[in-house]
Amino acid sequence: MTTPKRPRDPNQLAKFIVDVATREVEDREPEPADEAARKRGSFGGVVCARNLTAEKRREIAEKGTTSRWKRDRPVQETKE
């Protein structure tokens, strides 16, 4: 049986705590931060960047800068 997530609602959380205290539901240990992040996929960009060559990183950076500079910029009026 899988352990349910901890509820966010205070009343449901209180019931969950009582269930854990009376051993109706097993409490689970929180996962280490690294393991939880890996499951969510937040390490994907780091691993991808690590595997890129310097030339490929430069191409990506140039593409980003040219796209930012190509955008139309509103003309700022100066107060005289």
Helices marked H in the chain — which ranges? 10-21, 33-40, 44-51, 54-70
What DSSP designation does 43 have?
T
Six-digit token string for 60 = 């990506």
Task: Indicate the pTM of the whole model.
Answer: 0.35
Distances (CA, A) of 67 to 47, 59, 63, 64, 74: 25, 12, 6, 5, 16
Provide the residue ranges of all domains of the chain, joining segments of one domain with +.
Answer: 10-70
What DSSP designation does 51 have?
H
Per-residue pLDDT band at 4 (split at 50, 70, 90):
low
* Cα separation, 3 vs 19, whole angstroms: 11
Per-residue pLDDT tens digits for 44-78: 677 777 888 999 989 988 998 888 888 776 667 77
